């Protein structure tokens, strides 16, 4: 089951990348499927926790550089077929039945999906309808790589915390932060693909999500969110001369961080009170 969780993790990300690569109505379908696969990942994780099995979020690198979307979809279908066979042997037949049924449907849709030429790796570094200076382009490039990884990291950290907590108050906050990071990850992934610099986020070191001191984690997290706000502000300033639309987007992301900080402060206060710290 542990190996299956790793495979589901990998195919979730591969599906997400396929969604970013698509420029047609396939995109929404692929992103929805990636959300389903993420849920499978959390369900299998929960089953591992119930069984007392230790695990990490380690996985292999996922090669996604293709010229045609169909090349990636074929790989995804192969991976899903392997997972389906493995899931069959799960003790929890309700869980395996659900995952298998989802996979069957997903494969049937992918098999008939219209092909697309992929431009997400051409390194053109241009956004449609927006002309940026070289300096702004470089700043945006670095920001996208940095923040795409960061959002993936946050999803895994909050997911791990949530998976190991039975506290409804804390879990509500963790879930909001997971949802917010998914939104940011999808927007930054879309921009990375448009710019032709799409990359799969690197694996996250286990020290980051296997949090031993939640107070320290939240305090450092608040500081990181403040730093992220600064980065958004810098980027908004860097692109504002060339595109008010893009500057507005980064201001919008910047303001969203305020609520994340408020939530993390709330979690910190609650946790300290509950644990008499």
Residues that bind other proteins (CB under 8 A): 58, 60-61, 65, 121, 123, 125, 137-138, 141-142, 145-146, 149, 197-199, 202-203, 205, 207-208
Which residue spans within the chain are E strands per DSSP?
none
Nearer to other proteins, 137 or 236 (CB): 137
Q: Which helix (H) or strand (E) holds 7?
A: helix 2-21
Nearer to other proteins, 106 or 120 (CB): 120
Q: How many CA atoms lie within 13 A of 81 on its CB side?
A: 10
The structure tokens 């008010």 sit at: 244
- Residue 27 to residue 58: CA distance in whole angstroms: 27
State the DSSP code for 271: H
In the complex, the smallest distance separating the C-beta of residue 203 from other proteins, rounded to whole angstroms, is 6
Q: Return the structure tokens found at 255.
A: 């303001």
Nearer to other proteins, 1 or 193 (CB): 193
Q: For residue 55, give Cα distances in angstroms to 3, 133, 166, 185.
A: 9, 46, 19, 24
Angle (deg, nearest 10), helices 26-50 and 134-163: 40
In the complex, the smallest distance separating the C-beta of residue 219 from other proteins, rounded to whole angstroms, is 12
Full DSSP string of 239-265: HHTT-HHHHHHHHHHHHHHHHHHHHHH
In the complex, the smallest distance separating the C-beta of residue 157 from other proteins, rounded to whole angstroms, is 12
Contact 173, 271 (CB under 8 A): no
Nearer to other proteins, 33 or 217 (CB): 217
Nearer to other proteins, 74 or 125 (CB): 125
In the complex, the smallest distance separating the C-beta of residue 202 from other proteins, rounded to whole angstroms, is 5
Nearer to other proteins, 142 or 262 (CB): 142
Nearer to other proteins, 36 or 208 (CB): 208
In the complex, the smallest distance separating the C-beta of residue 150 from other proteins, rounded to whole angstroms, is 10
Contact 219, 272 (CB under 8 A): no
In the complex, the smallest distance separating the C-beta of residue 242 from other proteins, rounded to whole angstroms, is 17
In the complex, the smallest distance separating the C-beta of residue 264 from other proteins, rounded to whole angstroms, is 18
- Residue 33 to residue 43: CA distance in whole angstroms: 15
Contact 189, 17 (CB under 8 A): yes
């Amino acid at each position: 089951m542990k190996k299956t969780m790793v495979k589901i993790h990998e195919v979730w990300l591969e599906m997400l990348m396929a969604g970013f690569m698509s420029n047609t109505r396939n995109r929404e379908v692929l992103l929805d499927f990636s959300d389903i696969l993420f849920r499978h990942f959390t369900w299998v994780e929960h089953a591992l926790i119930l069984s007392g099995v230790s695990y990490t979020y380690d996985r292999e690198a996922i090669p996604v550089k293709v010229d045609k979307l169909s090349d990636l979809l074929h790989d995804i279908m192969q991976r899903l077929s392997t997972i389906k066979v493995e899931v069959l042997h799960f003790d929890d037949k309700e869980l395996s039945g659900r995952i298998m049924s989802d996979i069957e449907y997903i494969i049937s849709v992918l098999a008939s999906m219209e092909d697309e030429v992929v431009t997400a790796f051409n390194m053109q570094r241009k956004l449609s309808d927006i002309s940026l200076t070289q300096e702004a382009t470089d700043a945006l490039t670095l920001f996208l790589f940095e923040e795409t990884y960061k959002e993936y990291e946050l999803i895994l950290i909050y997911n791990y915390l949530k998976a190991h907590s039975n506290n409804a108050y804390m879990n509500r906050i963790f879930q909001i932060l997971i949802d917010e990071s998914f939104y940011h990850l999808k927007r930054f992934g879309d921009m990375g693909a448009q710019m032709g610099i799409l990359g799969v986020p690197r694996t996250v070191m286990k020290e980051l999500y296997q949090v031993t001191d939640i107070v320290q984690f939240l305090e450092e997290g608040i500081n990181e969110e403040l730093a992220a706000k600064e980065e958004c502000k810098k980027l908004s300033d860097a692109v504002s001369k060339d595109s008010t639309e893009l500057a507005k987007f980064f201001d919008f992301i910047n303001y969203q961080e305020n609520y994340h900080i408020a939530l993390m402060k709330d979690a910190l206060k609650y946790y300290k009170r509950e644990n008499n710290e």
